[in-house]
Amino acid sequence: MTLRALGMLSGGLDSALAARLLLDQGIEVIGFHLESPTACRNDVADVARDLGIRLVSRPKGEEYLRLLRHPRFGYGRNMNPCVDCRIFMFRYARAWLEEFDASFLFTGEVVGQRPMSQRRDRMDLIDRESQLEGRVLRPLSARLLPETEPERRGWVDRGRLLAIRGRGRGEQLRLAEHYGLRHYASPGGGCLLTDPEFSGRLRDLFAHRAEPDTTMDDVALLRLGRHVRIADDLVVVIGRDQDENWRLEAFETAGRWRVEPDGFRGPTALVCGRHDEPALQAAIALILRYTTDRGPAVRVRWSEGGAVLERRVEIDTSGPVAPAPTPVGP
């Protein structure tokens, strides 16, 4: 019977290489991907096709939001609760090992690559807290770590695993060329929670939105546009290009409404909060601030009560353009 392993597949190079090393030893690999609006990578399906493996994706879900607000082991430099996040993912994956009849879990982690979660002591902590001691194989650094159950049982040849350490990516890039891997995200990225601007937006969201009312959709919206907080209960998101203008449409739900240019080139405004005249005025002001189409008058439109409304806005072109508002961020 072919041995089967479940691998945490991120879409990055390291996890793809870890899978490739096990495939070379005749082990059947299932890629397991946890979807999150805080992940930069979205090409994991291409990585799985490159490897020729089955991919299973699951959402992290609302429980992940509670972790982001209350990490037991704290944050890194920004809003990245790396240790808690790894424990969360490993516990999630542990429940699926039996479902897929997989003998162990593997990851693309490299000793010393991430300062918060990829130190030897933190790896031990994560395995222990997720109740997977001895069942997590890290093929890229395995020879630097204690033997795991798959190695002790002879399921995996430890001598064919690697001893990579540190933040350099030269060895991984060489291996990618050797294996002909093409579809993977650029090394070094992967999580928006390490980004200062995204972290600033997330802090602002948590400071102004009650925990029971916060959704993964709210977090996903933080990826788009310029976010300008007008009041405690009002944020306006301005699209930065046509693609973002279109994408903002998907976020128009209860509590969010769009104001759009009508007949001139300019950004879409997504108003998050109350639906009243001051909010409309704020949205219009931001649309005009970020457009170069500044004739003597423009029209904007929005929806209200199922009807599409519009308004003509006179523009004073004699004075200076108002200073840019301070966006939500670091």
At 302-330, the pLDDT tens digits run: 988 788 999 998 876 555 455 566 788 76
Considering the domain architecture, whether residues 28 and 148 belong to the same structural domain is answered as yes
Considering the domain architecture, whether residues 155 and 292 belong to the same structural domain is answered as no
Q: Specify the pLDDT at position 188.
A: 53
Q: Flag whether 34 is in a domain.
A: yes
Q: Specify the pLDDT at position 187.
A: 56
**Alpha-carbon span 57 to 236, nearest angstrom:** 32
**Alpha-carbon span 237 to 224, nearest angstrom:** 8
Considering the domain architecture, whether residues 241 and 185 belong to the same structural domain is answered as no
For 15-34, give one letter per residue: b (16+ CB within 10 A) or e.
bbbbbbbbbeeebbbbbbbb
Considering the domain architecture, whether residues 87 and 154 belong to the same structural domain is answered as yes
Q: Flag whether 212 is in a domain.
A: no
What pLDDT band is residue 189 in, cutting at 50, 70 and 90?
Answer: low
Beta-ladder partners of 137: 106
Q: Flag whether 203 is in a domain.
A: no
Q: Flag whether 330 is in a domain.
A: no
The 8 Å CB, 24+ separation contacts for 312-318 are 313/284, 313/288, 315/288
Query: Residue range 27-40: average pLDDT?
Result: 92
Selected residue with higher pLDDT from 189 and 34: 34
Helix then strand then coil, in percent of the chain rounded to 5, is 35, 20, 45
Considering the domain architecture, whether residues 183 and 254 belong to the same structural domain is answered as no
Mean pLDDT of the chain: 91
Q: Flag whether 42 is in a domain.
A: yes
Least trusted range by pLDDT, from 72-81, 82-91, 236-245, 287-296: 287-296
pLDDT digits over 227-254, tens only? 999 999 999 999 999 999 999 999 998 8
Which residue type occupies 255?
Answer: G
Q: Specify the pLDDT at position 124.
A: 96
CATH number for the domain spanning 21: value is 3.40.50.620
Task: Tell me the residue range of the domain where 146 lies.
Answer: 4-192
Q: Flag whether 327 is in a domain.
A: no
Q: Specify the pLDDT at position 186.
A: 62
Beta-carbon contacts of residue 293 (< 8 Å; ≥ 6 apart)? 261, 264, 265, 266
Q: Flag whether 82 is in a domain.
A: yes
Q: Specify the pLDDT at position 39.
A: 84
What pLDDT band is residue 96 in, cutting at 50, 70 and 90?
Answer: very high
Q: What angle do CA 127, 169, 113 make, to 5 degrees?
A: 30
Considering the domain architecture, whether residues 56 and 140 belong to the same structural domain is answered as yes
Selected residue with higher pLDDT from 298 and 154: 154
Considering the domain architecture, whether residues 250 and 305 belong to the same structural domain is answered as yes
- Which stretches within the chain are classed as H helix? 13-23, 44-51, 63-69, 82-97, 120-129, 149-152, 170-179, 196-208, 216-221, 242-248, 277-289
**Alpha-carbon span 138 to 176, nearest angstrom:** 17
**Alpha-carbon span 324 to 329, nearest angstrom:** 14
Query: Residue range 156-180: average pLDDT?
Result: 94
By the 8 A CB rule, do 90 and 132 touch?
yes
What are the backbone dihedrals phi and psi of residue 54, each rounded to the nearest 5 degrees, phi first? -75, 140
Considering the domain architecture, whether residues 259 and 165 belong to the same structural domain is answered as no
Q: Specify the pLDDT at position 317.
A: 58
Q: Residue 200, SS3? A: helix
Considering the domain architecture, whether residues 184 and 263 belong to the same structural domain is answered as no
Q: Specify the pLDDT at position 296.
A: 80
Q: Specify the pLDDT at position 41.
A: 60
Considering the domain architecture, whether residues 135 and 46 belong to the same structural domain is answered as yes
Tell me the pairing of strands 54-59 and 226-231.
Answer: unpaired
Considering the domain architecture, whether residues 34 and 157 belong to the same structural domain is answered as yes
Q: Specify the pLDDT at position 323.
A: 58
Beta-ladder partners of 226: 238
Query: Residue range 104-113: average pLDDT?
Result: 96
Q: Residue 97, SS3? A: helix
Query: Residue range 99-117: average pLDDT?
Result: 94
Q: Flag whether 106 is in a domain.
A: yes
On the question of pLDDT at 267 being above 60, the answer is yes
Number of domains forming the structure of the chain: 2
Query: Residue range 97-111: average pLDDT?
Result: 96
Half-sphere exposure of 114 (CA within 13 A, CB side): 22
The fraction of the chain above a pLDDT of 90, given in percent, is 79
Query: Residue range 155-167: average pLDDT?
Result: 96
Considering the domain architecture, whether residues 9 and 111 belong to the same structural domain is answered as yes
Q: Specify the pLDDT at position 254.
A: 83
Q: Specify the pLDDT at position 105.
A: 98
CA distances in angstroms from 113 to 27, 110, 119, 173, 229, listed in the order given:
26, 6, 8, 15, 36
